[in-house]
Amino acid sequence: MKLSGLIAKPDGSISRGQITFADRITALESVSGDGDYYILPGLVDLQVNGSHGIDVMNASADALANLSRHLAREGATAWMPTAVTAPVEKIAEVHESIATAFENSRRDNSTDASAILGMHLEGPFISPHRLGAHPTLNLEPRGDAFERVLAMNALRLITLAPELPGGLDAIRRLTARNVVVSIGHTNATLDEANAGIAAGARMFTHLFNAMRPLNHRDPGVIAAALAPSPAVPGIIPDGVHVHPAMLRLAVTARGKDGIIIVTDKVALAGTTNTEKNIGRARATIRDGAARLDDGTLAGSIISMLDGVRVMVEKAGVSIGDAAVMAATNPANLVGANDRGRIQVGAHADLILLGPALELKSVFIGGRELK
């Protein structure tokens, strides 16, 4: 099959060309023409707590597969089901469902659903001072609970607070097991955050949210996230979790290769429902996001493509650079190096956008979703 348009390249550039593909991309060539449709790699979301009424914490493997189909139709062609803080026994149950869905996704290589890339565990090894919407079940990353989590075979990404007792050793052990560690829900100082990076942490979870605030005399974890380092901040560009001016600041500081777009979306997203229990309490959709009764943000209701649009329209990012942040960078972080990019040999996971960035078509494994 062939597709022509304005192609977003892995370096952030946009060029007019033609893609030839079957299940993978077989050729790229420059062509002339007047078409103004954009062709982007399928987007990769590393933080999905739920969507379309499906909550990862209560979802069966079949429900996760159903959620994969919903996400694909929004332009996210790969994702990580994200479990939140809970008793370890509950996390083990959630892991079993995710592991089954993960294995089914890899085996079936479905062309009508987003690929599952493994489990993101956001907690319970987080700071009691930066819980956000999480329940007060936080644990230190050591002992039996940590050993049980470390043994979870579908675990690919974990959010933890490096300043907790045992935190740095936990980062080293997780990294040795090829689990990506993200610093988040943390009260870390600058030195503690940098120690986490030195131990192997390679991401920051939803930058600016649920972490020690930036202060010019106590720069904290945010200063570490904005400084050049191997750790890349994830950011929620819904216009609520982060002000557009701070989105621009983060992009200026880290550049296109140093930002990952995530949704951190919850089960209320993509539904007409306005209320659901999330984390530690009831959440409702108010002022553009999910919130607890006390106003605490409990997650977003956007799609990945919504996030791309906000980065382009409100943060001044080019479409090509936004594609890098929403597809290439997250895929690279978790070792999915044949996804999230338009190049020969990569999965033919593609999205076609109109001039106003409206979604026209989604291709997964070279087949167009109907």
Q: Which residues are identified as catalytic?
A: 264
Tell me how far apart the alpha carbons of residues 214 and 234 are, in angstroms, rounded to a whole number. 16
Least Cα distance to 159 among 88, 94, 82, 212 occurs for 82
Asked if 240 contacts 300 with a C-beta cutoff of 8 angstroms, the reply is: yes
3-class secondary structure, 298: strand
Tell me how far apart the alpha carbons of residues 73 and 304 are, in angstroms, rounded to a whole number. 11
Tell me how far apart the alpha carbons of residues 177 and 83 are, in angstroms, rounded to a whole number. 19
- How many alpha carbons fall within 13 Å on the CB side of residue 215? 10
Q: Which residues pair with 51 in a beta bridge?
A: 54
What sign has the CA pseudo-torsion 43, 237, 160, 275?
negative
3-class secondary structure, 283: strand
Tell me how far apart the alpha carbons of residues 193 and 163 are, in angstroms, rounded to a whole number. 8
Note the Cα 211 to chain centre separation in Å: 18
Tell me how far apart the alpha carbons of residues 283 and 109 are, in angstroms, rounded to a whole number. 35
Asked if 299 contacts 264 with a C-beta cutoff of 8 angstroms, the reply is: yes
Helix or strand (DSSP H, E) at 354: none
Asked if 252 contacts 218 with a C-beta cutoff of 8 angstroms, the reply is: no
Pairing state of beta strands 155-160 and 76-84?
Answer: unpaired
Tell me how far apart the alpha carbons of residues 205 and 301 are, in angstroms, rounded to a whole number. 17
